[in-house]
C-alpha cells in the first residue's frame, strides 16, 4: 500500500479538519497519482471534501467506528479487519492511504511507499503525519528540485520502506 500526504516542517497535515495550505501543483500530483486507484480515509477526511462527497474516478473506502455511518458513493468499513477484507480484491500497489492522522498511524506499518510533499514552513497544526525521517524503517528514494508557490517553498519526496 501507499501513503500520500502534504506535510509542513513539523510533519503537520491539518488544522480543524482542513488542509494547512492548498498548493495547486500538489493537488494536481495527488489527483494524477490517485485517479483510477483506491483511496482509504477516515470519516472526517471524507467530510472535509467539497460537499463531503467521495473523490471522483476513484474507489473511496472510509474507515469509521460509527456503525450507523453511510457515505453514498463510498465503501464504509468499521474495523481494520473489515478494511483488510475489502482491500483483498485490489492490488496493494493501487491502494493509497490519504488520511487523516489516525488512519495514517493505523496503516503506516502496512505501507511500502509514501509520497510526501514537504512544505518549508511551520503552520499551526493539530493533526500530524508520522515523521518518516525519524523512522529507521523508511528512507528517501527520490526527491524533487525546489518548487515554489508564491513565496512558499516545497519539495516532492518518495519514501520507501527499507527491505530486509
pLDDT of residue 158: 98
Q: Over the stretch 133-161, which tens digit does the pLDDT of each residue have?
A: 999 999 999 999 999 999 999 999 999 99
Instruction: Say if CB 10 and CB 133 are below 8 A apart.
Output: no
d(CA 58, CA 52): 15
Dist CA 164 CA 156 (whole Å): 25
Q: What does the alpha-carbon distance between residue 75 and residue 54 come to, in Å, rounded to a whole number? A: 10
Contact 116, 7 (CB under 8 A): yes
Residue 19 has a pLDDT of 96
Distance, in Å, from the CA atom of 88 to the CA atom of 137, rounded to the nearest integer, reads 25
Average pLDDT over residues 80-85: 98
Residue 164 has pLDDT above 80, yes or no: no
pLDDT of residue 155: 98
pLDDT tens-digit map of 10-68? 999 999 999 999 999 999 999 999 999 999 999 999 999 999 999 999 999 999 999 99
The matching CATH number, chosen from 3.40.430.10, 3.30.70.20, 3.40.640.10, 3.30.70.1400, for 2-161 is 3.40.430.10
Q: What is the pTM of this model?
A: 0.97
- pLDDT, tens digit, 9 for 90 and up, residues 83-121: 999 999 999 999 999 999 999 999 999 999 999 999 999
**Quick one: pLDDT at residue 106?**
98
Amino acid at each position: 500500500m501507499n501513503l500520500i500526504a502534504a506535510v509542513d516542517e513539523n510533519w503537520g497535515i491539518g488544522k480543524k479538519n482542513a488542509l494547512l495550505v492548498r498548493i495547486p501543483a500538489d493537488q494536481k500530483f495527488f489527483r494524477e497519482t490517485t485517479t483510477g486507484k483506491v483511496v482509504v480515509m477516515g470519516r472526517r477526511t471524507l467530510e472535509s471534501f467539497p460537499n463531503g462527497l467521495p473523490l471522483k474516478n476513484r474507489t473511496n473506502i472510509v474507515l469509521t467506528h460509527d456503525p450507523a455511518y453511510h457515505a453514498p458513493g463510498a465503501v464504509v468499513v468499521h474495523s481494520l479487519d473489515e478494511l483488510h477484507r475489502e482491500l483483498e480484491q485490489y492490488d496493494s500497489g493501487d491502494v493509497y492511504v490519504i488520511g487523516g492522522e489516525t488512519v495514517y498511524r493505523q496503516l503506516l506499518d502496512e505501507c511500502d511507499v509514501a509520497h510526501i510533499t514537504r512544505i518549508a514552513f511551520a503552520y499551526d497544526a493539530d493533526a500530524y503525519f508520522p515523521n518518516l525521517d525519524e523512522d529507521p524503517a523508511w528512507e528517501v528514494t527520490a526527491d524533487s528540485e525546489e518548487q515554489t508557490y508564491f513565496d512558499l517553498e516545497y519539495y516532492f519526496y518518495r519514501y520507501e520502506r527499507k527491505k530486509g
